[in-house]
Each structure stands twice: as C-alpha cells, then as structure tokens.
Amino acid sequence: AFAFLGMAMASCGDDYNDWANPQTNPQEDAITIPGLTATAADAIDLANVSEDSVSTFTLSTAALPEGFQLADARVEVTPQGVEGATKTTFNAGIEGRAAAADLSDLVVNAYGKRPTARTFDAHVYLDAVKDGQAVLIDAGKINVVVTPKAPYIASNYYLVGDMYGEGKWALADCVKFNHSDADVYEDPVFTLMVTTTKDNQYWKIIPQGNIDAGNPWAIQNDPKGVVGVTKNGDDAMSGTLVTSVTKDDGTTDAPNAAMIAKAGIYQITINMMDYTYTIKQISPEYYLVGKLQGWSDKPENKTCLMYAESAMVQSYTTQWNDDANLKIWLGSDFGVWDSAYGTAKNDDNSVEGKIGGSGSIVCPEPGAFYTFKVDFSTMTYKWTKLEDQNPTAYEHVGLIGVGNDWKKDVDMKEVTPHNWFIETTLPAGEFKIRANHEWNDAANWGFAEGQEFSSTGKLITSGVSKNIKIAAGKYRIFFNDITLEYAIIAVAE
C-alpha cells in the first residue's frame, strides 16, 4: 500500500493505453485501471479513535497516465442486514482516511448507538484529474466494519439504599427502575419514583448483571459494575454517575453512595448514555396536555388536572373526543415539552402501556368515555371503559355558599366533558358544589360526615352532605361530576 501523493506519475502505455475509450461500468460510468484497487482497512472501533480521521482502505500501486493525479475518494456504502437500507456516501482522502464523525453518523443512522461491530458493503471510487478534467476510477468493492462509540449500558438498573427494606442493602431490597423497553442505546433513560420518610437517605445503583449473579455487589470497580458518585454522601439534585473512583494514589475504587437529604417523594432519572442523574422532588400534581385542551402550553390552559387516588396513582375520566391523544406534565414542568411524559410509540392506542418516550398516548376508542389511570411508581398506564356511556350532563356546575351567599352560584367552566374548573379567590367560610343553579339531592355535592378537608379526594351526592370548609385564599378548583373526584389547589400570591 502507498500514498499516491508521493508517487511519480508515469505513462500508462504498459498498463492501460485506451484512455480515449476506457473500460466502463455502465452503472457508475467509471473506469478500472489494472493494479489500482482498494483493500479494506482493519475494523474500526470508534471508542478507540483519538484522531479526527480514521483509515477505511488502502490503495495498491498502479501507474496513471502522464499528467493525471488522484483526487479525493468517495465510498458508497450499504449496511448489511438492514431491510430496505439505502446506499449512502462518505468522503475519504486518497490515503483512505475518512472523518470519524462521518463514520459515527453512518453507523448510528443505520444501526443505532449500540456498540456492536457493524458491516457495510462498500464501493470505492476515485477521481483522476488533469487540467481541471476528471475521470472516475472504480477501485473496487470492500467491506467497512465500524463499531460506534458508546458506554456500557445494562439492560436494567435497580436502586438500593436506606429507604428500602431494613437498611441491609440486600438483593431483596433492590428496586427496579422503569424503562420504555426500547433498546437501551436508543432510549438510555431510566426513571424511578422514590418515597423517603427520613432525612439523609443514601443510595447506589445496581446493574442487571449483578442481580443475575444473585449478589448486588458481584461486580464493582468496573464499567459493568455498581454505579454511584465520586463523593460519598453527595446530596446534589443532579450530577455525574461513575462506576469507579480514582484515588489520590492513582488507583481506583468502587463508587460512593449519593444521598437524598430531605424526606419526601422524588423522581430519580438516570441517563446512561452520558452517565448523569437528576432528582426532582414532586408533589402529586399532574396535568394532561393534548387534543382535549388544544395542545396548549400556556398557563391559562393548565386545566386538565389528573385526580390523585394516591401520590403515585392518578387518573382522569372524560369523553375522549377528536384525536383523543395526550401527554402528561408534572405541574412544575408544565410548558417544558422535553419534560412531557409520553410513550415510546407515537399515537399508541393500546389499552395499557408504559410511560416513557416522546410519543402521544391515544384513547383506544375515540368518542367513548374512559378512565385514563397512571401508576407513576411503575410508570405504567391503563385505559378502562365506563359502563355508563351516557352519564347525566349538566348545563351548569358551580360553587354555592361563597361568602355565605347561598342563593348565587359561582359558575365553573366545563373544560372537558364532565370536568369543571375555576380559579378564584375565596373568603374564609363554607361552600358546596351543585348543578344547574338548583338544590337537587342527585346533583349537589359536599363532604361526608366526619370528612376532613384535603386538597384532593371525593365528594358525596346527597342532601345530607356537609359543607366544605375553606380558609381564605386564591384557589384552583377541579371537579368531575362522574367520579365525584375533586382537587382544591391553593395558589401562592
């Protein structure tokens, strides 16, 4: 092999005489020159490439006609084993060196980011140039083998720490992160909801391989081992994950445990493509965005609050009209599209599925009444069709008794079928919710006997229901007249 840039150009009389009528490949309109062929370079692992370019082929020695010089090459490639794959091209110098970034894009676009050796069928073409005129040369077919650069990502991860079990950090105490089930190199994000009842709770992350070995600590201080942080007790809400820690003497040790400083409900998200984590303290306040509210990220359209059965289980019942599609926003993330919960497959109308991904979730039967329920502890959802597909409809639903006025209703707005909303300032006192500006035992709602005020819950339908007592303040009030679920959310002023 050699570089043509250093080659003395000679007449091709002994090798190829008929440049006026060259041998051609009708498909490529290229000529072949005896002795001028490309040979594949060694397989390329981009994780081990430190330069901007890498060798993809070398050329054998051959003479060119007088005055001709070789110019840059192009390599047409087709990925092996990819159904419907199309031919693409990358550029290379006559030494066969191509940009590492181009090869990375090539393999990722064809096969994804998983660090597996991938083979491309390749065809090398070169230009021979004289006086500004070029002749295309066919240097033959080779294989180009490329492995994309990516870190090790296990198939699943588990959290272990003070908040689980008896604090023994044993195999039975490892709690699995949720994942979309897509290839982990296409979706490297794992999430888990954690409830801590004490301050200063330490944690680490266990890969699937250790679980399979029956010992959470089977592999440590290794790219495939336990995941933690550099500084023991780090209580940062975001940071970098490591699988080993370099000590002052240059040796490495197992990663340290991170810490959640305050008791509460948290969402832990790990991105194993870049080995980072974020921890977000949450309150059980989730909103739907979608066709039901015009796909609006404006604060005034923050009207479709999911009703909390518990901190982790939330639901919404309505008639899912039109496109019947949705995503979910945590209240603190409302308006941030990158933080919206969807699903892996866009417009997924499955009866149940997993939360995770950017695709929209769709009611299995648009136009019908369904309850959409999400368990955020497992990041799963399920649609349940209502038995009664003709629930009683009301022209008005509103608050009665505000400011001790039991004659004038404060009307709420029906934001989706049978879901009512109002944002208003209330004086200290009592109220109920009733329909159509009248007292009807079947359509006025309040607390049950002994029911204490809570920001979320259920009302009862009865002429003997109790008034809802409230402190003075500004509130966002939500009510579903089918399920009788309510939410009364105080607004900071």
pLDDT digits (tens, 9 = 90+) for 305-354: 999 998 889 999 999 999 999 999 999 899 999 999 999 999 999 999 99
Res. 368: pLDDT tops 80: yes
Rounded Cα gap, residues 360 and 381, in angstroms: 13
CB-based burial label for 38 (10 Å; 0-12, 13-18, 19+): buried
Inter-residue contact 190 to 134 (CB < 8 Å) = no
Q: What is the pLDDT of residue 493?
A: 64
DSSP letter, residue 493:
-
Q: Which residues are bridge partners to 368 per DSSP? A: none
457 or 248, higher pLDDT: 457
DSSP letter, residue 31:
B
Q: What strands lie across the sheet with 307-308, from one edge to the other?
A: 307-308, 313-319, 369-375, 380-385, 352-354
Sign of the CA dihedral running 99, 100, 104, 110:
positive
Structure tokens at 371: 């309850």
Q: Which fold has domain 397-490?
A: Immunoglobulin-like (2.60.40)
Q: What is the pLDDT of residue 26?
A: 41
303 or 67, higher pLDDT: 303
Pick the CATH number of 4-147 from 3.90.105.10, 3.60.15.10, 2.60.120.260, 2.60.40.3640: 2.60.40.3640
Res. 457: pLDDT tops 70: yes
DSSP letter, residue 369:
E
Architecture of the domain whose range is 157-281: Sandwich (2.60)
Inter-residue contact 31 to 22 (CB < 8 Å) = yes
pLDDT per position as a tens digit, 157-170: 999 999 999 878 99
Which are the contacts of 338, defined by CB distance < 8 A and separation ≥ 6? none
DSSP letter, residue 231:
S
Q: What is the pLDDT of residue 441?
A: 86
Structure tokens at 361: 């979730």
3-state secondary structure at position 143: strand
Res. 10: pLDDT tops 70: no
pLDDT per position as a tens digit, 387-430: 999 999 999 999 999 999 999 999 999 999 999 999 999 999 99
Rounded Cα gap, residues 19 and 48, in angstroms: 43
The domains spanning 286-385 and 397-490 adopt the same CATH topology:
yes
Structure tokens at 90: 């990358």
To the nearest whole number, what is the mean pLDDT of the chain?
90
Structure tokens at 401: 């008794």
Domain boundary assignment for the chain: 4-147, 157-281, 286-385, 397-490
Least confident piece of the model among 56-70, 435-449, 454-468 = 56-70
What is the 3-state composition of the chain as percent helix, strand, coil, each rounded to the nearest 5?
Answer: 10, 45, 50
What mean pLDDT comes out for the span 220-236? 96
Inter-residue contact 374 to 380 (CB < 8 Å) = yes
Least confident piece of the model among 31-35, 162-166, 196-200, 268-272 = 31-35
Query: Which amino acid, one-letter code, is at 166?
Result: E
What mean pLDDT comes out for the span 228-253? 94
Class of domain 286-385 (CATH, top level): mainly beta
Confidence band for 75, pLDDT divided at 50, 70 and 90: very high
Rounded Cα gap, residues 347 and 370, in angstroms: 17
Confidence band for 28, pLDDT divided at 50, 70 and 90: low
Res. 21: pLDDT tops 70: no
